[in-house]
């Protein structure tokens, strides 16, 4: 009996997917949406964001604002470029998000003591308090998402994800990725 996979409210049999691969033209690469790694990433992030959005609402925090709170908690006195890299939020959206967070007294901008042209971003006491109240809710949701995955499997998964991030990073050293000389 073929194994059944449930995805997005549909049932796909593994045998049925194999037939689709055989039936595909040999001149075109085979594409099975459910096997595409970025489709799966999008499904994971989309579902997580929907769950977490409801938990953040009572605090007046959105998912992008949570990402800023978490990044600035973990890396205080971050520059705008560093924060954009950490949160993967584009600069325009991040600027608007930060403007709101500064006005709400969650984040403050300070001139860099060593470079007056640079601004450092950090959480205020209120920002830290909101972070502390939201963190347990986020951790609860995170724990639910990895239920049934053992510590060794999770450690391997994290290493694999980190490798993918490194592979996609523009500043990635290609010698480290390929084990050979840069291309």
- Whether residue 25 is found in the same domain as residue 54: no
Dihedral over Cα of 157, 159, 164, 170: its sign: positive
pLDDT digits (tens, 9 = 90+) for 45-62: 999 999 999 999 999 999
CATH code, domain with 101: 1.10.10.10
pLDDT digits (tens, 9 = 90+) for 126-160: 999 999 999 999 999 999 999 999 999 999 999 99
- Whether residue 31 is found in the same domain as residue 65: no
- Whether residue 8 is found in the same domain as residue 56: no
| Domain extent for 107 | 49-147
* Confidence at residue 182, expressed as pLDDT on a 0 to 100 scale: 36
Number of domains forming the structure of the chain? 2
* Confidence at residue 152, expressed as pLDDT on a 0 to 100 scale: 97
- Whether residue 19 is found in the same domain as residue 93: no
Determine the Cα–Cα distance for residues 109 and 118; give it in Å rounded to an integer: 10
- Whether residue 63 is found in the same domain as residue 136: yes
- pLDDT-derived band at 177 (thresholds 50, 70, 90) equals very low
């Amino acid at each position: 009996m073929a194994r059944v996979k449930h995805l997005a409210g549909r049932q796909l049999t593994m045998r049925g997917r194999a037939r689709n691969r055989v039936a595909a033209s040999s001149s075109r690469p085979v594409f099975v949406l459910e096997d595409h790694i970025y489709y799966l990433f999008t499904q994971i992030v989309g579902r997580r964001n929907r769950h977490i959005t409801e938990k953040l609402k009572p605090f007046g925090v959105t998912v992008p604002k949570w990402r800023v709170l978490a990044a600035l908690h973990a890396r205080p006195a971050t520059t705008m470029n560093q924060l954009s890299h950490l949160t993967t939020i584009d600069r325009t959206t991040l600027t608007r998000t930060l403007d709101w967070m500064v006005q709400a007294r969650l984040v403050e901008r300070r001139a860099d003591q060593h470079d007056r042209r640079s601004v450092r971003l950090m959480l205020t006491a209120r920002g830290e308090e909101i972070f502390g109240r939201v963190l347990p809710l986020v951790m609860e949701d995170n724990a639910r998402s990895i239920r049934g995955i053992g510590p060794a499997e999770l450690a391997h998964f994290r290493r694999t994800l980190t490798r993918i991030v490194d592979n996609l990073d523009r500043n990635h050293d290609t010698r480290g990725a390929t084990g050979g000389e840069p291309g």
